[in-house]
Structure 1
Amino acid sequence: MPVHTPGPCDTGQVRSAAAPDLSLSAARKRWILAAAVLGSSLTFIDGSALGVALPAIQNDLAAGPAAVQWVSNAYLLTLGALVLIGGAAGDRFGRRRVFLIGVVLFALASIACGLAPTVELLIVGRGAQGIGAALLTPGALAVIGATFPPDERGKAFGTWAGAGALFGMIGPLVGGWLSDHADWRFIFWINVPLAVLTVVVTLRAVPESRDEDARGLDWPGALLAMTGLGALTWSLTAAPDLGWSHPAILGGLIVGVVGLAAFLWAEARERHPMMPLGLFRSRVFSGVNLLTLLLYFALGGAMFFLPFQLIRVNGWSATAAGAAMLPFAVVMGMFSGFAGRLADRFGARLSLSLGPVLAGVGLAMLGLMPDRAGYVDGPLAGMTVMAIGMTLAVGPLTAAVMGAVAPGHTGVASGVNNAVARVAGLLAIAVLGVVLSHLFANWIGGDRDPREALGAFMSGEETGGGYRNAFHRGYIGVMFVCALAALAAGIIGGLTAPKRGAQSPA
């Protein structure tokens, strides 16, 4: 087959998602994969850079612990609630079209975040970023799924994960440097030129594809999901400040549980549900999504609280804290494609059992890090082991989810799996924030309100030894909860992940 270079005439073709387009050349596939990687890099860089900048944001905008949690949670909430709609919209209206809309919206929301004068407006901007990400993230994965046949998807998704890690590698370094030497707001401006490049490559290289049988969008389901998740997350985040017996907390918990129950009830009766419950009849699909929930709960919680430990307890600069993430990005970037090829050859079960277990070991090692450790005796070993585990798991995990459904439902499947991953991060920050607050309160001395003391320490207003010790003890507890979640994910992977030679649904 001759090498085909993408041109403007290719952009209007509409492909059914019933099967990958086998007429695409290897060169064309590489351009399509590049477009998906570039779009996804918006979220990779933004998220990784923001993590190490949160202490500076908290100090600059005079935000309390709950508010700074919502800088992350607002994004995760809208992304988690709407990514299902994003996947279904791509299946119905065209994956390339929805992907492009998401890229443009993410860029505009990034500009708003960069201009935000208060933490409240920053939270609003982050929520808008989540809406854009809810369209572009499943779109990127669905474009890959519609392009590559099943025997090439493990390598393709591994390459996507590895390239994303390489993009994400610069995030913590840039975010840390900007926080130390310039302005954290520039983190959001980085997204604008990347978005422009993504749009150009996508328009020239990516053919349109959709599920010709897709009908309708489930807006009531999206509203119920957002209501339930929002109420539950707010309650868990605010409970340490207001107390578990506060009427608003009790009411929020009730609304959250009822809202999520109503979401499941509505999905069972909706003609075109955003989360078709029938997909969960597949043992592989259900098991891998449960694995995703636990693994990304562990990863999301660890990556949120680790920078506070390094900066506030270990006394590192934000730049140094960003450099601590390098082993994760280097290992993911260099070996994700190799891990995907291993899964293609030997099946996903080994990768999805061993990978999370190794990630859990790495998280436990990070929890045992001394409170005055340097780089080598601190995060290096734990971060490297965790990175190896995540590298083994990420590409095969995505391929297993896509392979567990009929080809026409790849957009919905990627949306469900992305929703699970984002909700996991959302719950991790809220739940582990409760764990940290409880342990901090048990260890802190003096007459000061522990909630005020925790906020003062995390913002850098207080640096006393008693505060350091109490936060470090809380951090250890948080990391061991993360490690246990990752180990449980490995057990589930060993029980439910597809074996070698398993066939995709017709």
Structure 2
Amino acid sequence: MPRRPSVPFALPSLSQRLVVPVVCVSVTFIAIVDGAITTVALPSIARQFQLTTAALDGVVVAYPVCLAMAIPASAWLVERFGGKRVLLVALAGFLGSSLLCGAAAGLGQLVAYRAVQGLSAGVLFPASAALLFGTFTPAEQVRVSRYMIIPQQIAPAAAPVLGGLLVDHLSWRWVFYVNLPVGLPAVLFGALFLAGDRGGRPARFDLPGLLLSAGALGTVMFGVCEGPNRGWSSPAVVVCLVLGVVLLAAAVAVELRTAHPLLRLRLFTDRLFRDTNLLNLVGLIPIMGALYLGPLFLQQAQGRTALESGLTTFPEAFGVLLTVQITGALYVRVGPRLIVGLGLAGVSATLVLLAGCDADTGLWTIRGCMFLFGAAIGCFFIPTTVASLATVDRADLAQATMLNTVVRQTGGALAPAAVTTALVLGTPSGAAAAPPVAAYQHAFLALAAIAAATAVFAFTMPDGPARAAARGDAAPGGRSTLPRRRRDRVDA
């Protein structure tokens, strides 16, 4: 009897419900830390290259501009080559460009490599989200998101502290090298255990759509990022914003008339998808704006150190981590409409409290406000993310997550621009460089007004389909499997 051939060593089979979150957590942590840690190193980079800190503006701006330009192509790439390939290639590109950033010999090289980082991240974020939400059913996504939110909160809080330690004790180059110890194991783990799919045969690549959408997003992002620094009346800013709006209008017109568009804008005809994205676009302005404004108030208006500032804003993360566990448990029962509306109302109320702080307000009072602020925004992230995909067909998942990323990145970019503009308007002409305390108070009130208006809109969101999907009562695309009479009560 012939001997059976020996079986080669086989890797243990791991559940994708474990593998996918591990990879996605690593990706999220790396990308968020990189975005938050770079600014800490700018003074040291300026000294290394004998430049002023202002001259390093390109290092900061190149990343979000290129990220925005790469996002539109991400969904097509996932559909064509599969989520595993796209995610791992993008992560490898991100890590490689991080290594090159750390080894840069001059400002030009550093800006170029930061641009490559941004291009990689523009594909990385949507591919990671598509892989994550494609692995779990709508009923499971709420539970998974309760754990995915943890690195999203820890990363921005830890990044300034980590960046300061690396710059002080090693070199500014290590703020880029630090991505490798986390990223390389993630690439290896994903390559070995992620379930690969060969992708499909999507329609012909929509090159006009890419050129118009990438040009629009890139120019708008540049204008928004540079507006507070150069002034909103600066010719470069005005030209970029006007050109971006024109290109955006052209992109919308072309994509709506294309049989197989790169951007499936028709997804916005679904009210739940449209409303949740509007909430993300506008709601992120007061949320991210307050996180940007808080350290400025502490360090400039109160004269606190960077360490005191970090320790004072850090309780926000504890508030988020506490609330997301509660909202995750309540999501199916009460739906996203009530959770998001009350959360934004809490954001507005907390910002009013922060507007009452002055130069003599104690740190523990501000820490208490930041904890309440975190508890309020913990009601925002998970419900809007999960509900936005509740009525989306599985075939459109990559497109939907890509459009979600575009909206979130835009809202995140508008936040510091809105805060800086409010501070400039609140500073008397001819005053010292630092805005007065009243300017910070007015900025907090402006953010509170935006949050209150967004809360009112949140209470009009239709969340019946979202609750049905979370219970497992909806077919793909949000079509309920409930009897018609019961479905009418659910959708109310």
Same fold? TM cut 0.5? yes
CA distance in structure 1 between the partners assigned to 2:271 and 2:290 by the alignment: 29
Match of 2:488 in 1: none
Alpha carbons of 1:99 and 1:241: their partners in 2 closer, same or farther (altered >3 Å)?
A: closer
Does the 8 Å contact 1:352/1:493 carry over to 2?
yes
CA distance in structure 2 between the partners assigned to 1:311 and 1:349 by the alignment: 37
Match of 1:479 in 2: 444
1:229 alignment partner AA:
L
Match of 2:423 in 1: 436
CA distance in structure 2 between the partners assigned to 1:52 and 1:242 by the alignment: 21
Report deviation, 1:178.
4.0
1:501 alignment partner AA:
A
From 36, 52, 57, the equivalent of 1:62 is 52
2:478 alignment partner AA:
P
Alpha carbons of 1:375 and 1:115: their partners in 2 closer, same or farther (altered >3 Å)?
A: farther
CA distance in structure 2 between the partners assigned to 1:50 and 1:478 by the alignment: 25
Does the 8 Å contact 1:362/1:384 carry over to 2?
no
Does the 8 Å contact 1:180/1:317 carry over to 2?
no
Report deviation, 1:200.
2.1
Alpha carbons of 1:444 and 1:256: their partners in 2 closer, same or farther (altered >3 Å)?
A: same
**Does residue 341 in structure 1 map to residue 306 in structure 2?**
no
Report deviation, 1:391.
1.5
Match of 2:130 in 1: 142
Deviation string, structure 1 residues 185-216 (Cα, Å, up to 9, x no partner): 42222211111121122123321247646334
Match of 1:505 in 2: 478
1:481 alignment partner AA:
A
Report deviation, 1:38.
1.1
Which sits farther off after the overlay, 277-286 or 365-374? Answer: 365-374
User: Percent identity at matched positions?
Assistant: 27
Q: What SS does structure 2 have at the residue aligned with 1:315? A: coil
CA distance in structure 1 between the partners assigned to 2:121 and 2:297 by the alignment: 28
Match of 2:487 in 1: none
In structure 2, runs of 5+ residues without a counterpart are 1-9, 480-492
In structure 1, runs of 5+ residues without a counterpart are 1-6, 11-24, 446-465
CA distance in structure 1 between the partners assigned to 2:191 and 2:419 by the alignment: 42
From 147, 160, 164, the equivalent of 2:152 is 164
Match of 1:109 in 2: 97
Aligned counterparts, 1:313-392, within 5 A: 313-378=301-366, 380-392=367-379
Does the 8 Å contact 1:313/1:372 carry over to 2?
no
Match of 1:418 in 2: 405
Report deviation, 1:105.
1.5
CA distance in structure 1 between the partners assigned to 2:328 and 2:201 by the alignment: 31
1:102 alignment partner AA:
A
Match of 2:254 in 1: 266
Report deviation, 1:89.
1.6
Does the 8 Å contact 2:36/2:156 carry over to 1?
yes
Does the 8 Å contact 2:67/2:121 carry over to 1?
yes
Match of 1:226 in 2: 214
2:53 alignment partner AA:
A
| Root mean square deviation, CA, Å | 3.1
TM-score normalised to structure 2 length? 0.83
Does the 8 Å contact 2:65/2:222 carry over to 1?
no
Q: What SS does structure 2 have at the residue aligned with 1:200? A: helix
From 274, 278, 287, the equivalent of 1:290 is 278
TM-score normalised to structure 1 length? 0.80
Alpha carbons of 1:257 and 1:323: their partners in 2 closer, same or farther (altered >3 Å)?
A: same
From 484, 487, 490, the equivalent of 2:455 is 490
Q: What SS does structure 2 have at the residue aligned with 1:42? A: helix
User: Looking at CA atoms only, which structure, 1 or 2, has the larger radius of gyration?
Assistant: 2
Does the 8 Å contact 1:357/1:490 carry over to 2?
yes
Alpha carbons of 1:246 and 1:202: their partners in 2 closer, same or farther (altered >3 Å)?
A: closer
1:480 alignment partner AA:
L
2:330 alignment partner AA:
L
CA distance in structure 2 between the partners assigned to 1:49 and 1:242 by the alignment: 23
Alpha carbons of 1:78 and 1:325: their partners in 2 closer, same or farther (altered >3 Å)?
A: farther
Alpha carbons of 1:296 and 1:88: their partners in 2 closer, same or farther (altered >3 Å)?
A: farther
